[in-house]
Structure 1
Amino acid sequence: MTISATFKGAEGQLHAAASAATGLSDFGDAAEYLPGLQRLLAALDENGPAFKPQGRAFAWNLLVGVLISRLFSEQGWKTHPQCLQQPVRRPLIVIGIPRTGTTALHKLLSMDPQFQGMERWLTAFPMPRPERDSWADNPWYQACEAGLEQFFAAAPHMRAAHDMRADDVDECLEVLKQNFCSNFFGSSLRVPDYDRWWLQQSEASSYKRLLKVIQLIGTNSPQKTWLLKNPGHVAQVDALLDVFPDACVVQTHRSPASALPSLCSVLREARSILEEGVDAHAIGQRETRYWQAAVDDAHQARARAPGQFLDVLQSDIQREPMVVVQNIYQHFGLTLSDEARARMLERISAAPEARHGEHRYSAETFGLDSAGINQRFAPYIQRHALA
Structure 2
Amino acid sequence: MSNLLNADKLLQSLSLDLGEDDYEEPLNVLIESLNNEANLTYFGKLACEYQIRKHLKVRGQIFQKSRSLPNLTISRPVFVIGLPRSGTTYLFNLLSLDPEHRSPLFWEMMNPLPSCKSGSFTEKMRIMRSRSILFSKNRFISKLDDMHAITATSPEECLLIKVFALRSILYFYMANTPSYLSYLEDSDKTVSYLWHRRFLKVLQSQYKPKRWLLKDPSHLGNLDEILSIYPDACFIHIHRDPAETIPSICSLTSQVRKGFTNSIDLNELGERTLDFWENSKKKNESQKNNLNDDQYVDIYYEDFIKNPLKTVETIYKNFNFSFSKENKELTESYIEKNAKTSRENHIYTLEEYGLDKKEVHNRLQ
In structure 1, the residue matched to 2:41 is 52
In structure 1, the residue matched to 2:4 is 6
Contact 2:303 2:311 survives alignment (8 Å):
yes
Q: Give the CA RMSD over aligned residues.
A: 2.2
In structure 1, the residue matched to 2:22 is 32
Contact 1:93 1:227 survives alignment (8 Å):
yes
Q: Report the residue type matching 1:239 in the other structure.
A: E
- Deviation track 1:94-135 (CA, whole Å, cap 9, x = no partner) reads 011111111111111111111111111112223486444237
Contact 1:91 1:228 survives alignment (8 Å):
yes
Residue of structure 2 aligned with 1:339, choices 305, 309, 326:
326
In structure 1, the residue matched to 2:238 is 252
- Deviation track 1:262-297 (CA, whole Å, cap 9, x = no partner) reads 010011110111012211111110111111111111
Please list, as runs of the form range in 1=range in 2, the aligned pairs for 1:176-187 lying within 5 A after superposition: 176-187=162-173
- What is the CA–CA distance in structure 1 between the aligned matches of 2:121 and 2:35, rounded to whole Å? 38
In structure 2, the residue matched to 1:363 is 350
Q: Report the residue type matching 2:335 in the other structure.
A: I
- What is the CA–CA distance in structure 1 between the aligned matches of 2:132 and 2:4, rounded to whole Å? 27
Residue of structure 2 aligned with 1:141, choices 127, 130, 140:
127
1:344 positional shift: 1.8
- What is the CA–CA distance in structure 2 between the aligned matches of 1:68 and 1:353, rounded to whole Å? 41
Distance 1:112 1:128, change over 3 A: farther
1:223 positional shift: 4.6
Q: How many residues align?
A: 364
In structure 2, the residue matched to 1:72 is 61
Contact 2:250 2:269 survives alignment (8 Å):
yes
Relative to the length of structure 2, the TM-score reads 0.93
- Deviation track 1:144-185 (CA, whole Å, cap 9, x = no partner) reads 221111111112311121111111111111111212233332
- What is the CA–CA distance in structure 2 between the aligned matches of 1:15 and 1:52, rounded to whole Å? 22
Q: Does residue 259 of structure 2 align to residue 285 of structure 1?
A: no
Residue of structure 1 aligned with 2:307, choices 307, 316, 320:
320
SS at match of 1:341: helix
- What is the CA–CA distance in structure 1 between the aligned matches of 2:61 and 2:340, rounded to whole Å? 31
1:27 positional shift: 1.8
Distance 1:353 1:252, change over 3 A: farther
In structure 2, the residue matched to 1:206 is 192
Distance 1:255 1:353, change over 3 A: farther
> Percent same amino acid among aligned pairs?
24
- Deviation track 1:224-264 (CA, whole Å, cap 9, x = no partner) reads 21111111111111101111111121001001111100010
SS at match of 1:35: helix
Contact 1:128 1:220 survives alignment (8 Å):
no
Residue of structure 2 aligned with 1:222, choices 198, 208, 211:
208
Gaps in structure 1 of 5+ consecutive residues: 382-387
Residue of structure 2 aligned with 1:108, choices 94, 108, 112:
94
- Deviation track 1:54-112 (CA, whole Å, cap 9, x = no partner) reads 2222222221221132133123224xx23x42222432210111111111111111111
Relative to the length of structure 1, the TM-score reads 0.88
Q: Does residue 98 of structure 2 align to residue 118 of structure 1?
A: no
